[in-house]
C-alpha cells in the first residue's frame, strides 16, 4: 500500500472522464524546443479536419493534422471541464504540435536504447487508470468506446506514456542530485528569514483567569493559584480545549481558547516570549498581562520554506482483495460490504477477517499498516482514510492495488527527527531541480533530431 512512482501522465489517456482525469501534458506549460509555428498551424486552428495532411516530420516519422486536431480538442475539453482559460486556437495548436514533436523525439530515443514495455505493465496501467476514476476495467473500456476510442489505440497510448516515463527515469532522474551542502545552505537561508516575525506563522490557545481591576494581593494570589492548577491539569494530559471552555474568562473560550493561525507580529510580545522555546503541544504559564493570568499552549509553529517539525500520523488497518478471473471488482466490493456489515453488527472483528481474507502482507498483523506519515499511501487510499474518524470503517474503495476495506484506528501528532526534516528539504529541492534538468534534456534530445515543419496544402 505504500506510495510508488506511477506515471500520472497516463491518467489523462481517458479524455472522456471529467472526474479525476489528468492531462497527458500540462496544457498551460510552454512546450520544450523551438516554438516557431509552421504555416499549417493556421489551418489546424481553423478547425479543418476533413482532410489529412502531414504538418511535421520527425526523423522520417510524420505527424498529421488529424493527430494534432484530436489532441487539441482533447486539451480544449479538459481545460473547459476544469474551468481553466483556454488559449486562442492558433496558440493552442502551436503548443500541442510542439509537444507532440518533443514526445516523438523522446519515443524514438527510447526505442533506439532498446526500452520496451511488456503487456503485463500495460494491463497494470489500464487497471490503474480505471481505479483512479473509480471504474472497473470493463466500465473504462465502455466509456472509451462511447467516446470513439478503441481499446488498442488506448493501450498504445499507455505504452507510449510508460515508455516515456521509463526513459525519463533513466535519463533525467539520474542527473538530479541534491548535495548535503545545498540542503545546509537552504536551511541556513530559511533560518535567517525566521528571525522576521512577519514570516513566522503561529497558532496558540490560551486560558485566561481574569483579574478584576482593584483586586487586592490576596485575590490576585488566589487567581494565580487557580491558573496554576489549570496549568497542572493541562500538563497532566487533559484536553486543553475542554479546560478552556470550563475555566477561561476570555471571549474565545467557546473555540477552545484558540487564537488562530497568524504571523508572529500579530501576537502579543508577552505570548511570543513565553512560547519561544516551546515545542508544538507544550503548555506554559501562568503569564501575567493587564487582563489577568494566561495559561498558553503552542499549537503550531510554521516557517514558510522550512519543513514541518510535526505531522499528523494515522494508524489504519485494511483488508485487500485483488480482483482475478475468479473474483471481479464488483464481487470483491460486495464481499467487503458484507465484511463491513458483520463487523459493525458485532458478529466478528476486523483483525480476524483481515487475517483470514486479506491478500496484503499486513494480513498476519490483522491488516495493521502501522503509523504512517502523510503521503506514505497512494492518493486514493489516503483520501478515504483521511475522511474517517478513529474507529470508523469506510466504504470499500478501489485503488491501483485492488479493493480495500479501511478502518482508521487512531491518529497522533508526531515530531519529525532532524534527519526526516532534512529529507523533506532534499526532496523539495530535487523536485525544483527536476523541471530544469528535464527541460534542458528535452531540448537537447529535440535539437539532435531532424524536424521538418510542413506547409498546409493549398
Instruction: Taking residues 75-101, report their average pLDDT.
Output: 86
**Is residue 242 pLDDT above 70, yes or no?**
yes
- Are both 37 and 53 inside the same structural domain? yes
**Is residue 7 pLDDT above 70, yes or no?**
no
- Are both 296 and 330 inside the same structural domain? no
What pLDDT score does 370 carry? 93
CB atoms within 10 A of CB 362: 19
What pLDDT score does 15 carry? 31
- Candidate ranges 4-13, 33-42, 323-332, 387-396; pick with highest mean pLDDT: 387-396
Q: Which are the contacts of 97, defined by CB distance < 8 A and separation ≥ 6?
A: 37, 38, 41, 44, 55, 56, 63, 68
What pLDDT score does 38 carry? 54
In which band, very low, low, confident or very high, does the pLDDT at 13 lie, cut at 50, 70 and 90?
very low
What pLDDT score does 43 carry? 53
**Is residue 220 pLDDT above 70, yes or no?**
yes
Which residue, 51, 56, 59, is CA-closest to 100? 56
Identify the three-state secondary structure at position 323.
Answer: coil
- Are both 67 and 216 inside the same structural domain? no
CATH of the domain at 137: 1.10.4030.10
- Are both 23 and 142 inside the same structural domain? yes
Distance CA 310, CA 197 (A): 20
Distance CA 123, CA 112 (A): 24
What pLDDT score does 124 carry? 72
- Under a CB-based contact definition with an 8 Å cutoff, are residues 408 and 392 in contact? yes
- Are both 298 and 318 inside the same structural domain? no
Distance CA 299, CA 265 (A): 17
Angle between helices 65-81 and 89-112 (to 10 degrees): 110
C-alpha R_g of the chain: 29
Q: Which are the contacts of 80, defined by CB distance < 8 A and separation ≥ 6?
A: 86
In which band, very low, low, confident or very high, does the pLDDT at 8 lie, cut at 50, 70 and 90?
very low
Percent of the chain with pLDDT over 70: 86
In which band, very low, low, confident or very high, does the pLDDT at 5 lie, cut at 50, 70 and 90?
very low
- Under a CB-based contact definition with an 8 Å cutoff, are residues 355 and 364 in contact? yes
Note whether residue 361 is domain-resident. yes
Q: Which long-range contacts (CB under 8 A, 24 or more apart) does 241-247 make?
A: 241/205, 243/207, 243/295, 244/205, 244/206, 244/207, 247/207, 247/209
- Under a CB-based contact definition with an 8 Å cutoff, are residues 427 and 413 in contact? no
**Is residue 314 pLDDT above 70, yes or no?**
yes
Domain region containing 353: 310-415
Domains contained in the chain, number: 3
**Is residue 302 pLDDT above 50, yes or no?**
yes
What pLDDT score does 252 carry? 85
Which residue, 178, 191, 205, is CA-closest to 432? 178
**Is residue 177 pLDDT above 80, yes or no?**
yes
DSSP per-residue string spanning 384-401: HHHTPPTT-B---EEETT
CB atoms within 10 A of CB 50: 7
- Are both 407 and 262 inside the same structural domain? no
- Are both 265 and 394 inside the same structural domain? no
Instruction: Taking residues 320-345, report their average pLDDT.
Output: 90
Q: Which of 274, 302, 330 is the last residue of a domain?
A: 302
- Are both 36 and 95 inside the same structural domain? yes
- Under a CB-based contact definition with an 8 Å cutoff, are residues 274 and 296 in contact? yes
Q: What is the pTM of this model?
A: 0.52
In which band, very low, low, confident or very high, does the pLDDT at 32 lie, cut at 50, 70 and 90?
very low
Average pLDDT, the chain: 82
Omega before 22 within 30 of 0, i.e. cis: no
What pLDDT score does 101 carry? 93
What pLDDT score does 45 carry? 55
Q: Which are the contacts of 289, defined by CB distance < 8 A and separation ≥ 6?
A: 268, 270
Note whether residue 432 is domain-resident. no
Distance CA 202, CA 266 (A): 9
Give whole-number Cα distances, 49 to 65, 67, 68, 167, in Å. 7, 10, 10, 33
**Is residue 236 pLDDT above 60, yes or no?**
yes
What pLDDT score does 360 carry? 92
What does the CA dihedral 156, 159, 164, 168 come to, rounded to 10 degrees?
170
Note whether residue 430 is domain-resident. no
Which residue, 161, 150, 160, 155, is CA-closest to 126? 155
Identify the three-state secondary structure at position 105.
Answer: helix
- Are both 43 and 161 inside the same structural domain? yes
- Are both 170 and 253 inside the same structural domain? no
Distance CA 392, CA 397 (A): 14
- Are both 332 and 298 inside the same structural domain? no
Identify the three-state secondary structure at position 365.
Answer: helix
Note whether residue 115 is domain-resident. yes
Distance CA 440, CA 433 (A): 11
- Candidate ranges 27-36, 140-149, 196-205; pick with highest mean pLDDT: 140-149
In the sheet where 54-58 sits, what is the strand order?
61-64, 54-58, 451-453
- Are both 319 and 213 inside the same structural domain? no
334-385 pLDDT tens trace: 999 999 999 999 999 999 999 999 999 999 999 999 998 887 887 778 888 9
Q: Which of 302, 318, 352 is the last residue of a domain?
A: 302
What pLDDT score does 405 carry? 95
Distance CA 32, CA 25 (A): 12
In which band, very low, low, confident or very high, does the pLDDT at 2 lie, cut at 50, 70 and 90?
very low
Identify the residue whose cell numbers are 509555428: 37
Amino acid at each position: 500500500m505504500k506510495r510508488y512512482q506511477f506515471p500520472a501522465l497516463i491518467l489523462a489517456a481517458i479524455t472522456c472522464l471529467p472526474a479525476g482525469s489528468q492531462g497527458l501534458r500540462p496544457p498551460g506549460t510552454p512546450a520544450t524546443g523551438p516554438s516557431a509555428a509552421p504555416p499549417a498551424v493556421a489551418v489546424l486552428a481553423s478547425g479543418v479536419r476533413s482532410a489529412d495532411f502531414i504538418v511535421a516530420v520527425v526523423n522520417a516519422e510524420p505527424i498529421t493534422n488529424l493527430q494534432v486536431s484530436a489532441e487539441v480538442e482533447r486539451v480544449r475539453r479538459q481545460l473547459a471541464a476544469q474551468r481553466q482559460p483556454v488559449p486562442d486556437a492558433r496558440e493552442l495548436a502551436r503548443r500541442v504540435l510542439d509537444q507532440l514533436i518533443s514526445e516523438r523525439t523522446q519515443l524514438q530515443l527510447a526505442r533506439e536504447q532498446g526500452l520496451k514495455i511488456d503487456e503485463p505493465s500495460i494491463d497494470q496501467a489500464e487497471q490503474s487508470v480505471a481505479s483512479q476514476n473509480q471504474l472497473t476495467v470493463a466500465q473504462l473500456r465502455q466509456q472509451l468506446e462511447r467516446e470513439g476510442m478503441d481499446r488498442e489505440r488506448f493501450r498504445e497510448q499507455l505504452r507510449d506514456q510508460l515508455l516515456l516515463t521509463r526513459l525519463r527515469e533513466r535519463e533525467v532522474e539520474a542527473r538530479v542530485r541534491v548535495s548535503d551542502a545545498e540542503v545546509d545552505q537552504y536551511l541556513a537561508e530559511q533560518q535567517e528569514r525566521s528571525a522576521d516575525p512577519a514570516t513566522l506563522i503561529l497558532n496558540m490557545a490560551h486560558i485566561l483567569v481574569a483579574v478584576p481591576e482593584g483586586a487586592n494581593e490576596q485575590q490576585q494570589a488566589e487567581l494565580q493559584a487557580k491558573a496554576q492548577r489549570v496549568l497542572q491539569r493541562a500538563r497532566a494530559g487533559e484536553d486543553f480545549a475542554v479546560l478552556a471552555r470550563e475555566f477561561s474568562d476570555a471571549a474565545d473560550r467557546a473555540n477552545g481558547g484558540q487564537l488562530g493561525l497568524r504571523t508572529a507580529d500579530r501576537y502579543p510580545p508577552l505570548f511570543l516570549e513565553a512560547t519561544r522555546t516551546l515545542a508544538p503541544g507544550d503548555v506554559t504559564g501562568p503569564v501575567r498581562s493587564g487582563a489577568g493570568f494566561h495559561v498558553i499552549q503552542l499549537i503550531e509553529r510554521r516557517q514558510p520554506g522550512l519543513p514541518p517539525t510535526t505531522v499528523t500520523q494515522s494508524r489504519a488497518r485494511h483488508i485487500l482483495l485483488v480482483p482475478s478471473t475468479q473474483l471481479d471488482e464488483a464481487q470483491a466490493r460486495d464481499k467487503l460490504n458484507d465484511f463491513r456489515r458483520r463487523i459493525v453488527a458485532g458478529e466478528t472483528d476486523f483483525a480476524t477477517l483481515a487475517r483470514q481474507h486479506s491478500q496484503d502482507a499486513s494480513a498476519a498483523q490483522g491488516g495493521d499498516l502501522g503509523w504512517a506519515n502523510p503521503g506514505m499511501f497512494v492518493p486514493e487510499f489516503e483520501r478515504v482514510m483521511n475522511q474517517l474518524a478513529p474507529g470508523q470503517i469506510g466504504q470499500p474503495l478501489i485503488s491501483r492495488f485492488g479493493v480495500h476495506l479501511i478502518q482508521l484506528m487512531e491518529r497522533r501528532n508526531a515530531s519529525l527527527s532532524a534527519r526526516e526534516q532534512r529529507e523533506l528539504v532534499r526532496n523539495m529541492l530535487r523536485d525544483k531541480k527536476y523541471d530544469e534538468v528535464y527541460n534542458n534534456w528535452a531540448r537537447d534530445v529535440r535539437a539532435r533530431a531532424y524536424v521538418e515543419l510542413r506547409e498546409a496544402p493549398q
